[in-house]
Structure 1
């Protein structure tokens, strides 16, 4: 079917006319449940804003989609407010806020406190001492006294409490002007949660400090190994010479990391962790009238105080480009950054629109002129809005043969087009339409709601302007954008960062301090935690999927349609799912990429991108190893136009030799860059460990095969997709029958389907001896993964595996984390998982990980091996792990198209039922003895393949050979090209 652009515009006309409707948004005040709050009229999240008598901000956004609550406790202070002589302090404090108070985290506070006071004084002596010999002696005393104090500490008692109440994603983060503590909890556990949080912020105790400090050292070293982090720091340093955005980093300097002051940390806490500088943001399943009383009850004790104002000299306008050069092993790229006013200004909101004019994934200037035409390997623009200033960031990656100055010229050329107004007249309205769609999707998620509210709170953005932003931006005219661009985006007022591929000669790693492992008392429990656990929780009934009832079924011609109806809004998501992938045809992923650069006899590739964007729709074609998926999403009112547009493209796309030449160059450069990625190298080693030298990771086209690709062959693959058997998945406002009827007309299929091409078969190999696979990479750290293939998939093992992962190595309160990070300070990140196969024919596998300093590798590996051979017992941790599984499953709601994908995943495992029901009903019957038996049978005294990525300048062959037969595959062996 041919579809002209004019017809597309006609079909979407109804939606475009709707977008002109305006909604009045204003602050109003109301009283309910004895508390007064503010709200914004027309706010789809129905958020309430309270201010308690002590100044604490409480923001409540109720939604009953799942019986869970996303909680943020946010402090409006971060690295920007660090003392200049103690940078990194806010981040330190964030880590220490998990260590407990005088009531929890301690076996005996009366005995622990004098030792902690000694440690305080020792650190002050350490900081003021310059003589290195004396400093070493003081550090020995710190290490010794810390070991004594740790005998009275209970490590990770906070995390165990959160685990026991069914908490998920317990974490925190620090940035320039915010420190935020985040939890996702069952709504039934809210009384436990608020009781604990009220105590947590009352009087944090800085216990187990020096091992946590080592974790921060590790985090610093990970930053030194991250080229993107180095680019970011260089960019902010050049943009903000007067503001702490550029003068200080969140992680802090090496010098300050080596000289922490617990007294300075405590002073910072009492200065900024005050109620009038904090917010409690909750979104989820609750009654706000009830919730506000509960929050007030637990936080009213906090006393307000005057918060030290942050003062800075305004930045001087940039009149000449400021250049920085960054070196590292990752591929080269170029960053250009412009400075803008802060987040609360109208200019910052216009900046987000400008970012979308440049990059929106479909019809932006960068999208059409640089990516679609393959002038650059990648190019994007994004707005970073902060309280004092905002930044427009442009980043480009060159294709083979290009210089970074070529990238600069191309990106600045698009900025010049923006200044001249050389963009489609209706692009602004298209962006607004897509913003509307995005807003609907965000408001569906209680997590995203809370995140948006929290960000506005900490950056000082008025929520009313956020709610009204779409209405405001819909009134913006093209002349206003042109004027805005000419005001801020000049030829000489930017910072430019050249990221070169090469050795960074300026890295000074944080050296490993001598640390004696400390007690973690994992099996102990304080009286306070026993009290928390005794607080009753409202019972919640779990909800299981019934695939026969929860999934509607219909036909679209000969194709099965599986559907879940969206009764909440107008969003639809459509998928054509094929049981074939790159193992059936290595050219399929290439053809999928090629489609985005193709047009038809009526529409160019650029026309098609613009048309999809105007419809607020998008499509994607992807090919994994064993399946391929075509996805189309958008607004139901544009369903017919969106599907017709895609079907027309797929059926009538024309070979384009110029596009293929560009795609080949793109593929080759991407493959070269992939070899410079340490994560990709590790991924290749893991695949090698699981399948042997010929494995799924390196089952790719050779360079010669890429050179020989013909455009007609790729187009033939695309045209033939409809001829292969597939399943249609639909999530949207229509029923399955309605969607099937519509697709029968829109989606043309043959009378009989073509059989799939035969698939390449890969079989996992069983290790019979310890082996070390080493990948050389220039970095400070060493990353180690333990890989072992296990027995065949067995659904009866699912409850045991779930409990084992939760207890042994799957979180902050796990045995692995407590021993390797908390007790021995050997890693910033560490975990261990037994992984069930995704299909019944495959075997399960086990993976463990440690990311550590290279000079600690020979301590970290034995530490993990010790746990693999003997699993420590902790009665309380075991109990918390079981409780976490129960409460997590009973409050989990699989909804929307998640139901469809859960069904497909079950099918691959040979299941026709929701496996979670078996886990829920069985896990409570599993004893520690059962778990230990599983551990010993699966892991103890077994051979492993150690996949290690590190620098051969920091790790010797003799070190590696300690752990098994050493193999050092070269890059071609790893990557296949």
Structure 2
């Protein structure tokens, strides 16, 4: 099956071309030599996301991702010495404001005026979008980043003759970052929250739903952060989070394309070998207690009616994970899947019906969501009953071997199609390296899917789909 990726190769050749190595300070590199075109895709995978935040500082991982594009000590500034002095002055003034009482309004006004003056002076020294300009000017495309509950990823593509430039830029970005234009970017993040959550009915619902479904685990908090927390973040907060978590042992670089592991190793030692390892950062993630009774959330919002049932499911690295992926396929793997065929085609009571795992992440045990969007004139109770009917049928009658074989073929093809993209492949390799310790487990998953038996999927369904493990959500 792996031969589908590149017709000229056999099924064992692609994994053999994946090479991984680590620097003494902890940075990990995963390289896949693939000279199909003179380009290279680069992914920087930071094993740090919103789940690493503490209460009261939510949104900091996502905010940091935004600030990582603001430049460095030499990129994005006309005069770093003058600029950093002004930024430090602003930080000091903001600290002074914290001790001002409501009765000292005149003193507060004077400090605000000084902050405005220093901010304006610092802004004059900024070369906006300088990092992006350099990347684009040198032929780079796809410059972007994404923060999830589990990780933060930075990615772009360069012509292969610009490989060393990527190393120079990325090492500078993570060794000498300058979190400039802080308040301006905070306003951007707050506006993003308004669009994604505050002014979006589904966003409001999902934020409340996660807080209902999880009692202790940080999966209950939104990646974007709570508005009050975002407003309270300081430059010092972000720098502290950066120094604690953006450390070599938490960062994996995925490099796929027209390059060689020898070239990458040489450049890695040159540009990243000088980073200090320091003390390993500790993480204490609260464990979610076992849910013992059904929970529910009902919200009246300006939205189409929604029906959701969430069930706690195993994490990415759990032994049951391959069976979980196949359970997804059985229930909602296309137009022939059980939920779509029954609720959408046959009964015509839903416009959409699906089951998906890994919400809001999958590094830790998370949620599998049963979802239905009722058809016009159909009730939430009717789609609830139809969903549960399908689940009970699955639990009692099991999965047919022919059905499972079809799902396996379909899932493999979807993986292999994704593997054809260098950027997607780089992301896959990074994720498996970070979550399982070995990038080649991205390929071994295909073999693990083959090992799953019908009864494995059925037994997982019987374990997961129980009332005490369920959180019901409705938008009326």
TM value normalised by structure 2? 0.91
Q: Which residue of 2 aligns with 1:203?
A: 176
Q: Where does 1:626-705 land on structure 2 (aligned, <5 Å)? A: none
Does residue 1:387 correspond to 2:363, yes or no? yes
Q: Which residue of 2 aligns with 1:53?
A: 24
- Deviation per CA, 1:400-423: give whole Å up to 9, x if none: 222212221111211111211354
**Distance in 1 separating the partners of 2:111 and 2:475:** 41
Q: Which residue of 2 aligns with 1:294?
A: 267
* CA 165–476 in structure 1, closer or farther in 2 if over 3 Å, else same: same
CA contact (8 A) 2:399 2:457 kept: no
* CA 252–125 in structure 1, closer or farther in 2 if over 3 Å, else same: farther
Q: Which residue of 2 aligns with 1:123?
A: 94
Which of 34, 58, 62 aligns to 1:87? It is: 58
Measured after TM superposition, the shift of residue 382 of structure 1 is 1.1
**Distance in 2 separating the partners of 1:359 and 1:390:** 18
Q: Which residue of 2 aligns with 1:476?
A: 452
CA contact (8 A) 2:218 2:286 kept: no
CA contact (8 A) 2:60 2:225 kept: yes
Measured after TM superposition, the shift of residue 137 of structure 1 is 5.5
Measured after TM superposition, the shift of residue 342 of structure 1 is 1.5
Q: Where does 1:182-197 land on structure 2 (aligned, <5 Å)? A: 182-197=155-170
Q: Which residue of 1 aligns with 2:140?
A: 167
Measured after TM superposition, the shift of residue 140 of structure 1 is 4.1
Q: Which residue of 2 aligns with 1:141?
A: 114
- Deviation per CA, 1:614-639: give whole Å up to 9, x if none: xxxxxxxxxxxxxxxxxxxxxxxxxx
Q: Where does 1:334-353 land on structure 2 (aligned, <5 Å)? A: 334-353=307-326
* CA 383–211 in structure 1, closer or farther in 2 if over 3 Å, else same: same
Does residue 1:63 correspond to 2:34, yes or no? yes
CA contact (8 A) 1:442 1:449 kept: yes
Q: Which has the higher contact order (CA 8 A, sep 6+)?
A: 2
**Distance in 2 separating the partners of 1:45 and 1:238:** 45
Q: Where does 1:403-802 land on structure 2 (aligned, <5 Å)? A: 403-460=379-436, 462-500=438-476
CA contact (8 A) 2:430 2:439 kept: no
**Distance in 2 separating the partners of 1:313 and 1:356:** 31
**Distance in 1 separating the partners of 2:109 and 2:222:** 27
Secondary structure at the counterpart of residue 175 of structure 2: coil
Secondary structure at the counterpart of residue 351 of structure 1: helix
- State the structure with more CA Rg: 1
CA contact (8 A) 1:336 1:495 kept: yes
**Distance in 2 separating the partners of 1:445 and 1:56:** 24
Q: Which residue of 1 aligns with 2:76?
A: 105
Q: Which residue of 1 aligns with 2:375?
A: 399
**Distance in 1 separating the partners of 2:439 and 2:36:** 23
**Distance in 2 separating the partners of 1:338 and 1:130:** 48
**Distance in 2 separating the partners of 1:60 and 1:231:** 41
Secondary structure at the counterpart of residue 492 of structure 1: helix
**Distance in 1 separating the partners of 2:172 and 2:370:** 44
Measured after TM superposition, the shift of residue 450 of structure 1 is 1.2
Secondary structure at the counterpart of residue 335 of structure 1: strand
Q: Which residue of 2 aligns with 1:319?
A: 292
* CA 231–64 in structure 1, closer or farther in 2 if over 3 Å, else same: farther
Q: Where does 1:881-892 land on structure 2 (aligned, <5 Å)? A: none
Measured after TM superposition, the shift of residue 143 of structure 1 is 2.6
* CA 244–401 in structure 1, closer or farther in 2 if over 3 Å, else same: same
- Deviation per CA, 1:854-910: give whole Å up to 9, x if none: xxxxxxxxxxxxxxxxxxxxxxxxxxxxxxxxxxxxxxxxxxxxxxxxxxxxxxxxx
- Deviation per CA, 1:463-488: give whole Å up to 9, x if none: 44431223222232222222221112
RMSD: 2.2
CA contact (8 A) 2:329 2:411 kept: no
Which of 199, 203, 222 aligns to 1:229? It is: 203
Measured after TM superposition, the shift of residue 323 of structure 1 is 1.0
**Distance in 1 separating the partners of 2:395 and 2:237:** 49
**Distance in 2 separating the partners of 1:429 and 1:450:** 28
- Deviation per CA, 1:820-857: give whole Å up to 9, x if none: xxxxxxxxxxxxxxxxxxxxxxxxxxxxxxxxxxxxxx
**Distance in 1 separating the partners of 2:236 and 2:164:** 33
**Distance in 2 separating the partners of 1:126 and 1:325:** 41
Secondary structure at the counterpart of residue 372 of structure 1: helix
Measured after TM superposition, the shift of residue 438 of structure 1 is 2.1
**Distance in 1 separating the partners of 2:154 and 2:177:** 14
**Distance in 2 separating the partners of 1:495 and 1:178:** 25
Which of 203, 211, 219 aligns to 1:245? It is: 219
CA contact (8 A) 2:70 2:131 kept: yes
Measured after TM superposition, the shift of residue 173 of structure 1 is 1.5
* Structure ranking higher in helix proportion: 2
Measured after TM superposition, the shift of residue 120 of structure 1 is 1.2
Does residue 1:375 correspond to 2:346, yes or no? no
**Distance in 2 separating the partners of 1:379 and 1:117:** 53
Q: Which residue of 1 aligns with 2:330?
A: 357
CA contact (8 A) 1:321 1:495 kept: yes
Measured after TM superposition, the shift of residue 271 of structure 1 is 0.8
TM value normalised by structure 1? 0.45
Q: Which residue of 1 aligns with 2:255?
A: 282
**Distance in 1 separating the partners of 2:437 and 2:415:** 17
CA contact (8 A) 2:164 2:267 kept: yes
**Distance in 1 separating the partners of 2:295 and 2:205:** 14
Q: Which residue of 1 aligns with 2:154?
A: 181
* CA 87–129 in structure 1, closer or farther in 2 if over 3 Å, else same: farther
Which of 145, 154, 157 aligns to 2:127? It is: 154
Q: Which residue of 1 aligns with 2:44?
A: 73
Does residue 1:260 correspond to 2:233, yes or no? yes
**Distance in 2 separating the partners of 1:135 and 1:370:** 61
Gaps of 5+ in 2: 2-10
- Deviation per CA, 1:647-696: give whole Å up to 9, x if none: xxxxxxxxxxxxxxxxxxxxxxxxxxxxxxxxxxxxxxxxxxxxxxxxxx
Secondary structure at the counterpart of residue 471 of structure 2: strand
- Deviation per CA, 1:175-220: give whole Å up to 9, x if none: 1121111112221211222111111111211211111111111111
Secondary structure at the counterpart of residue 147 of structure 1: helix
Measured after TM superposition, the shift of residue 330 of structure 1 is 2.6
**Distance in 1 separating the partners of 2:109 and 2:321:** 50
Q: Which residue of 1 aligns with 2:6?
A: none
**Distance in 2 separating the partners of 1:262 and 1:479:** 53
Paired positions, count: 461
* CA 289–485 in structure 1, closer or farther in 2 if over 3 Å, else same: same
- Deviation per CA, 1:888-934: give whole Å up to 9, x if none: xxxxxxxxxxxxxxxxxxxxxxxxxxxxxxxxxxxxxxxxxxxxxxx
CA contact (8 A) 1:240 1:315 kept: yes
- Deviation per CA, 1:1-20: give whole Å up to 9, x if none: xxxxxxxxxxxxxx9xxxxx
Q: Which residue of 1 aligns with 2:4?
A: none
Q: Which residue of 1 aligns with 2:5?
A: none
